[in-house]
Structure 1
Amino acid sequence: MDQLLATPGLAWLILAAVLAITELLVPGIFLVFVAAGAAVTGVVTLIMPEFALLFQVAVFIVATSAAVGIGRRWYVDNPVPSADPLLNDRVARLIGEVVTVVEPIEAGKGKVRVGDGEWLACGPDAPAGARVRITGAVGTSLNVEPVIA
């Protein structure tokens, strides 16, 4: 233990390894960026061991921030393809669906049944029971148009 404290660079590298292993065991936490910051700090501290702990922490913060920035840029430039890209966009999934008017659309406002729920709807006047197609949404209100048979 005394050797570990006498060589702070080694302690930073061990911390980096522990964080990287934790990232592998518990996916989705994004500890890899923190591990990269700890690894850079470990290497810098091994090269220049005379730096105080405060400087080491500053290097760690800067290196981790840089790793996060680089990683974020990489994820933006290389998005992971999804089998269902609209998974978390319920309104986008509804566009094109044909639904039933449950409260008449009068003066541009009414309600439609979507699945087992009712949504506010905006569009041309339509009586209760009419079939309409969802074309978009504004806030929590669906934009609809009459289905032409």
Structure 2
Amino acid sequence: MPDWLANMEPHWAWLSLGVLLAAAEIVAPGFFLIWVGAAAVVTGVIAWVVPLSVPLQLGIFAALSFVALYGGRRWLKANPITTTDPHLNQRGGRLVGEVLTVTKAIEDGRGRAKVGDGEWPVRGPDVAEGTKVRVVSADGGVLVVEPA
């Protein structure tokens, strides 16, 4: 073990761990590491103010982690994060209501339609190429259409 690590005050280790966990939450978001990081920071502050043995610090960290995770989970359940854009990252959902041009005739319920500068697979009643259709829903990567 390096000398600098062996001589480090425990509170600095806890504070460093808390900052690293908060940074990890930014890199790999999941709204989990931030609570454990907060518990590490609080443990570091407690260890700074009151000299405690390392096993007691580990016990405090474990208890604070549990309380922070449980409290954060309850708070998120009571205050869900809502979005102003319910179709964020759902390109097919964003196309509902749009009028498209069929580029490959819909036969046996399947065809293709022009969307922007590309084509998407579509499903709906049989229509000829060049027909205008309206998107009524999206089923995965397939747009469900009806004649416009």
* Contact kept in structure 1, 2:99 and 2:135, CA below 8 Å: yes
Name the residue aligned to 1:37.
39
Q: What percent identity do the matched residue pairs reach?
A: 38
Name the residue aligned to 1:70.
71
* 2:81 pairs with 1:102: no
Structure 2 stretches lacking a partner, 5+ long: none
* Contact kept in structure 2, 1:101 and 1:129, CA below 8 Å: yes
* Contact kept in structure 2, 1:12 and 1:41, CA below 8 Å: no
Name the residue aligned to 1:19.
19
Structure 1 stretches lacking a partner, 5+ long: none
* Contact kept in structure 1, 2:92 and 2:140, CA below 8 Å: no
- Which of 50, 60, 83 in structure 1 is aligned with 2:53? 50
- 79-88 vs 102-111, greater mean Cα deviation: 79-88
* Contact kept in structure 2, 1:19 and 1:34, CA below 8 Å: no
RMSD over aligned Cα atoms: 3.6
Q: What's the secondary structure of 1:49's corresponding residue?
A: coil
* Contact kept in structure 1, 2:111 and 2:123, CA below 8 Å: yes
- The alignment's TM-score, normalised by the length of structure 1, stands at 0.67
1:83-130 Cα deviation digits (max 9, x unpaired):
544331111110000000000011111111111111111101110000
* Contact kept in structure 2, 1:37 and 1:67, CA below 8 Å: yes
Tell me the number of residue pairs that the alignment of Structure 1 and Structure 2 aligns. Answer: 138
Q: What's the secondary structure of 2:137's corresponding residue?
A: strand
